[in-house]
Copies of this chain bind each other. A is one copy, B any other.
């Protein structure tokens, strides 16, 4: 294996370890402090960015998860009154999912705590380092998306 390949593999293993660690702690925190889960948080986050609601298929597209997945999460959030399914006029197959007002209030609370929690978790990362790494990741993500476009043609 070339040195370059070794450097890239090491980077990947570190990325995976760090992100998995933070994500695990985040899951614990969501459960402990908000009695919820990361997938539920992700769904509510997406809906909060679209106050008019999203069709189930749009939501699974945004979150890059399967249709059936969103169905289950929506079922449970709906049971708790945090989201609601609204029929789409003119298409009886489709459903619009959106936050209820209770859901919007609850998500605002969770989102604020989440930001504070992340800031605290990354306290040892200087703003300069954060910007530098974010820029590198952004450059990488942009290149990857570009390739996907080409592959999809």
Binding site for B on A (CB under 8 A): 1-5, 7-12, 14-24, 64, 115-116, 118-119, 121-125, 127, 129-134, 136-141, 143-144
Nearest residue (CB) in B for A15 is B19
22 interchain pairs, CB-CB under 8 A:
A4-B119, A5-B118, A7-B127, A7-B134, A8-B118, A8-B119, A9-B115, A11-B125, A11-B134, A12-B22, A12-B121, A12-B122, A14-B133, A15-B19, A15-B133, A15-B137, A16-B23, A18-B137, A21-B144, A124-B140, A124-B144, A125-B136
Cβ contacts under 8 Å, A4 to chain B? 119, 127, 130
Bound-complex Cα distance A27 to B16 (A): 13
